[in-house]
Amino acid sequence: MTDTLPIHDLVGLVQPQLDRLNRELILDLAPGHREMLPLVEHVGGFRGKQLRPVLTFLSGIAVRGASHGGGLGDDVVTVAKVIELLHTATLVHDDVLDGGSLRRRIPTVNQMAGVEVAVLLGDYIYAKAFHMAVQLPDPTAARWLAETVRVICQGEITQVLHRFDLAWSEARYFTVIAEKTASLYAAACRLGAYYSGSSEARLRALEEFGLELGIAFQIVDDCLDLDGDERIVGKSLGTDLSKGKITLPMLYLMQRGPAEAERLRSVLGKSEAEALRRLHSEFPLEHAIAYAMEEAQRRIAKAQASLSLLPKGPGRDALHQLAGFVLTRRL
Amino acid sequence: MTDTLPIHDLVGLVQPQLDRLNRELILDLAPGHREMLPLVEHVGGFRGKQLRPVLTFLSGIAVRGASHGGGLGDDVVTVAKVIELLHTATLVHDDVLDGGSLRRRIPTVNQMAGVEVAVLLGDYIYAKAFHMAVQLPDPTAARWLAETVRVICQGEITQVLHRFDLAWSEARYFTVIAEKTASLYAAACRLGAYYSGSSEARLRALEEFGLELGIAFQIVDDCLDLDGDERIVGKSLGTDLSKGKITLPMLYLMQRGPAEAERLRSVLGKSEAEALRRLHSEFPLEHAIAYAMEEAQRRIAKAQASLSLLPKGPGRDALHQLAGFVLTRRL
């Protein structure tokens, strides 16, 4: 189940496309006024694993099977760029929401240039992404991604409205993480396949793959916030607790009875350090993490099973391995 | 030059379309989760003069001349809805930037539900607007408006980066207000005409009309912030001074010499009340306002002159009157 292959081996298959994407994104974001250039360049430094464009490219390759001939069309690269920009815009705004000061070890936009510039720069990047999407002759990506961003925001707003809500349920947790996180993974896979001429059945299989992978990714993220190694994860941990976000391991602990739920309530809203210390010392956190990771494993197994509809080939193999990687990541 | 006709007389011509727009917008914004409904309904209360959709409808009527037959296509209504939603999204985010607590005498979203929800709800409304735009069979509106939002954000960011900048110039002020405000008026006029089958020459004339009208509108807005009646304007005044935004009347005062500019610098950043009190008692504010209003008048005259390319008819007449109204507004 767990696959220890480092991600860069999997990415090799799409390295040329990824290099092109990163080269072009710098030019695409070029602002009309030179004083904005440092901001735009700074945001380029947030570049991480770039899982979403990798999924778009691998999905495009996977639907063609062994006979793909190596060629992904220009439109697939455009779609991947749009998705990476949309993701970047959500990061810039997420940092405003969390009051975060560091992202990938460099200052957040709000830290560097203030909340006002960060809100506006996020809007700027969203607009740039939509503008790029509507240049495509086929409007499918623009339509799908506008709806996806709406769903992402809907999920995030719902999460904010239910912080500190002890009546929160697993069903609603899964809905919210599907909306706020997995929907963009699902779109990345579906649209990579669509713009590579996929059949409807394969589109749907890849969309499900992305959705389940995205849900697993968020579950692991939520576990790392409670149980990760801060030096490896590269961001401050315990923020879900201090913000009152109730994630899957917390839901497990709350299910152990009303008294336990009440005790947990007293941990929420504390400082990150105190909340983490109390959670580790007063609750069976290991069981809670194991419970959540089992759910993530089931999601990854489901994602991998959905690949059976695709033709055998290096694209399908790489997606299968990538899904396994989600469970072993420590950052 | 000054026209004292109240705006609702001008709007009568497009009242059926405006009523339809307001009816449909409530349904269009309906969220997927019921807990978001109060937020979406609340934002509906920000509805103001709705100048942008009025301009879209009047432009559509104006390009057809006297023989328009009263029919504006469904696509024109969609374009007007998209523009009104984009404007609403910028208002929600502007209130976050300004820390505003009241808008049109009701609480801002950040005041009611917090900064996090306000940032996300603005993003939600942007996404909804773009999703609506990409449903149009002709992608012109989606392309034009995505670029317009990028330009709006670019203008707003530039303004934030140059607060308290005494080297700020009239040329840069005009560029920024054209970007942050007038670009959406220009788009409203241009796209209303485009989706009514306008010729390229008339499109351009109406785009220029919207641009000059929008610039004049922002100049008057900037004057009202320094010299308006708070009870009539309906929002707190002096905020540009306290935020260090240097507008046209201030640029006039700065041009009176380095000593005067230095004295003005000491007013910027003070509380609204103190900054306004000092500006009124220590500087020739009346001259500064008159100087700015003369510029606004020139812009309105230019806007009205650009209408000469359009066929005679009630649409053209209404646009002409509407432009005059911009100079006399007190709120």
- What tens digit of pLDDT does each residue of A301-318 get? 999 999 999 999 999 999
Which residues, 6 or more positions from B302, have their beta carbon under 8 angstroms from its beta carbon?
B208, B212
pLDDT score, position B248: 97
Confidence of residue B122 (pLDDT cuts 50, 70, 90): very high
The DSSP output letter for B178 is I
| A53 within 8 A of A81, measured Cβ to Cβ | yes
Question: Average pLDDT of B135-145?
Answer: 97
Average pLDDT for chain A: 90
pLDDT at residue A101 tops 70? yes
Residues of chain A with pLDDT > 70, as a percent, come to 95
- Chain B positions in Cβ-Cβ contact with residue A158 (cut-off 8 Å): 33, 35-36
In whole angstroms, what is the distance from residue A228 CA to residue B189 CA? 54
Q: Does A154 touch chain B (CB under 8 A)?
A: yes
CB neighbour burial string for A123-162, b if at least 16 within 10 angstroms, e if fewer: bbbbbbbbbbbbebeebbbbbbbbbbbbbbbbbbbbbbbb
Q: Which of A241-255, B56-70, B280-294 has the lowest mean pLDDT?
A: B56-70
Q: Does B279 touch chain A (CB under 8 A)?
A: no
> Between chains, do B127 and A114 touch, taking CB under 8 Å as contact?
no
- Chain B positions in Cβ-Cβ contact with residue A157 (cut-off 8 Å): 36, 39, 117, 120-121, 124
In whole angstroms, what is the distance from residue A252 CA to residue B80 CA? 48
- Chain B positions in Cβ-Cβ contact with residue A245 (cut-off 8 Å): none
pLDDT at residue A67 tops 70? no
Question: Helix, strand, or coil here: B149?
Answer: helix
Confidence of residue A4 (pLDDT cuts 50, 70, 90): very low
* Other beta carbons less than 10 A from residue A217's beta carbon: 24
- What tens digit of pLDDT does each residue of A68-92 get? 555 789 999 999 999 999 999 999 9
pLDDT score, position A1: 32
pLDDT score, position A107: 87
Question: Helix, strand, or coil here: B65?
Answer: helix
- Chain B positions in Cβ-Cβ contact with residue A150 (cut-off 8 Å): 124, 127-128, 131
Q: Is the domain defined by B9-318 classed in CATH 1.10.600.10?
A: yes
Phi, psi torsion values for B103, nearest 5 degrees:
-140, 125
pLDDT at residue A2 tops 70? no
Confidence of residue B7 (pLDDT cuts 50, 70, 90): low
Higher pLDDT, A238 or B46: A238
Chain B residues 15-44 with CB within 8 Å of chain A: 31-33, 35-36, 39
Q: Does A49 touch chain B (CB under 8 A)?
A: no
Q: Does B114 touch chain A (CB under 8 A)?
A: yes
In whole angstroms, what is the distance from residue B183 CA to residue B13 CA? 24
> Between chains, do B147 and A157 touch, taking CB under 8 Å as contact?
no
pLDDT score, position B4: 39
> Between chains, do B127 and A147 touch, taking CB under 8 Å as contact?
yes
- What tens digit of pLDDT does each residue of B236-264 get? 788 899 999 999 999 999 999 889 899 99
pLDDT at residue B45 tops 70? yes
Q: What is the 3-state secondary structure (H, E, C) of chain A?
A: CCCCCCHHHHHHHHHHHHHHHHHHHHHHCCCCCHHHHHHHHHHHCCCCCCHHHHHHHHHHHHCCHHHCCCCCCHHHHHHHHHHHHHHHHHHHHHHHHHCCCEECCEECHHHHHCHHHHHHHHHHHHHHHHHHHCCCCCCHHHHHHHHHHHHHHHHHHHHHHCCCCCCCCHHHHHHHHHHHHHHHHHHHHHHHHHCCCCCHHHHHHHHHHHHHHHHHHHHHHHHHHHHCCHHHHCCCCCHHHHHCCCCHHHHHHHCCCHHHHHHHHCCCCCCHHHHHHHHHHHCCHHHHHHHHHHHHHHHHHHHHHHHHHCCCCHHHHHHHHHHHHHHHCCC
Crossing angle (nearest 10°) for helices A285-306 and A200-227: 160
pLDDT score, position A316: 95
Nearest to A120 by CA among B85, B103, B150: B150
CA distance B116 to chain A (A): 5
Residue/partner pairs of A116-119 with CB below 8 Å, 24 or more apart: A116/B97, A116/B160, A117/A39, A117/B157, A117/B160, A117/B161, A118/A92, A118/A93, A119/A93, A119/B93, A119/B96, A119/B97, A119/B119, A119/B122
pLDDT score, position A234: 67
Question: Helix, strand, or coil here: B234?
Answer: coil
pLDDT score, position A6: 54
Let me know the angle formed at the C-alpha of B211 by B209 and B217, rounded to the nearest 5 degrees: 100
pLDDT at residue B3 tops 60? no
> Between chains, do A153 and B121 touch, taking CB under 8 Å as contact?
yes
- What tens digit of pLDDT does each residue of B228-241 get? 877 777 677 888 99
In whole angstroms, what is the distance from residue B320 CA to residue B305 CA? 9
How many alpha carbons fall within 13 Å on the CB side of residue A170?
Answer: 11
Q: What is the ipTM of this complex?
A: 0.92
> Between chains, do B36 and A150 touch, taking CB under 8 Å as contact?
no
pTM to 2 decimal places: 0.93
- What tens digit of pLDDT does each residue of A202-225 get? 999 999 999 999 999 999 999 999
| A192 within 8 A of A60, measured Cβ to Cβ | yes
Question: Helix, strand, or coil here: B102?
Answer: strand
Quick one: tokens of A300? 């990854």
pLDDT at residue A150 tops 80? yes
CATH assignment, A7-328: 1.10.600.10
In whole angstroms, what is the distance from residue A186 CA to residue A206 CA? 7
Q: Does A197 touch chain B (CB under 8 A)?
A: no
In whole angstroms, what is the distance from residue A145 CA to residue A58 CA? 19
Nearest to A249 by CA among A229, A276, A226, A267: A226
- What tens digit of pLDDT does each residue of B167-215 get? 899 999 999 999 999 999 999 999 999 999 999 999 999 999 999 999 9
